[in-house]
Amino acid sequence: MTVENLTIAVVCGGTSAEAAVSRVSGRGVADALRTTYPKTVLLPLDANIADALKTNNVDVVFPVLHGPPGEDGTFQGFLETLGYPYVGSDVRASACAMDKIVAKHLFRDAGIPVARDIIVRRSDGAKMSAQRVFETLGLAVVVKPACQGSALGVAFPKDIPGIEAALRNAFVYDERVLVEERIAGREITAGLLERNGLEALPVIEIRTPPGAWYDYEHRYTPGLSEHILPAPIPEVQYHKTRELAKKAHQALGCRDLSRADFVLPEKGDPIVLEVNTLPGMTPTSLYPESAQAIGLSFQALVAHLVERARERHTQEPSNTSQ
């Protein structure tokens, strides 16, 4: 079948707190894919998705989803049950990467540097948990819901009442919360692309205005963050960042693409914060920007990912459940 006859479904939206960003990314990916695959369709992730995939006679699914249930393995399992080839990591890798607590266990086992942390639960109560955080890590901490993306629910409290308030807010998003030691340093990120082997894209430094950090607003509002590419960091740290990004990708079992986020202390190794299995694809997103830096246009990038999913499917036993 020629590419002109293939139907690619870009699935976006859903019910997560990041659904609006997902829709922006989805429209961009669909527009880019239509230059290669004219029959590309844009579908919302809702209760009718199974019927929509069948009605459109979809050949490959390109999930452009952020947060659960699109990025945590739930949607990937759904597609595998129905037999659709899809772009990105499989069920296990998606679930492990989305759960920051599980991911950190895997990173530690692989010898990847991570920040000290403590795990607290909603059932323990914010007040008691805040005191335990202080006794274990001190006041310089970062509070993160275990299974959210785009910095939702993340806070940098400065005192015990601030920790308590940050935990209460994080518990709105998740029953479990990861609290990490706050490490002073520069924010950097490295994309991975499976093309000729596992290829590390150029490292990017992310800069925000004084007093700000790379939160939801600064991620998705044009002009509120600056991306320095390649990151102006010492060569040893630059190469170490790319090496650790590869190790993190492999530790989770990711495939096709990922993006690893780090904090870089003034001296020493970069510290891995998390890995995104479905990096953002909006006009302000880091991953397409790093691919562009090696001469890979957005259109070529998304087409490459579709072809990987398609080729992978042809090598697997057929599934006639569609």
User: What is the pLDDT, as a whole number, of residue 139?
Assistant: 96
Asked about 276 being catalytic, the answer comes back as yes
| Claim to verify: residue 7 and residue 34 sit in the same structural domain | yes
| Claim to verify: residue 252 and residue 175 sit in the same structural domain | no
The reply to whether 292 falls in a domain is: no
Structure tokens at 45: 């992730």
Between 225 and 65, residue with greater pLDDT: 65
258, 261, 285, 287: the catalytic one is 261
The reply to whether 177 falls in a domain is: yes
The reply to whether 295 falls in a domain is: no
59, 187, 256, 274: the catalytic one is 274
| Claim to verify: residue 132 and residue 200 sit in the same structural domain | no
- Give the domain range for residue 141: 117-181
CATH number for 11: 3.40.50.20
23, 186, 219, 259: the catalytic one is 259
CATH number for 205: 3.30.470.20
Residue 100's SS3 state is helix
The structural domain count of the chain equals 3
The reply to whether 283 falls in a domain is: no
pTM value?
0.89
Is there a contact between 262 and 241 (Cβ–Cβ < 8 Å)?
A: yes
CATH number for 162: 3.30.1490.20
Q: Which of 152, 181, 210 marks a domain boundary?
A: 181
13, 14, 18, 72: the catalytic one is 18
User: E-assigned strands of 213-321?
Assistant: 226-228, 257-264, 271-276
Express each pLDDT in 212-249 by its tens digit. 655 555 555 566 678 999 999 999 999 999 999 999 99
Is there a contact between 140 and 160 (Cβ–Cβ < 8 Å)?
A: no
The reply to whether 230 falls in a domain is: yes
The reply to whether 167 falls in a domain is: yes
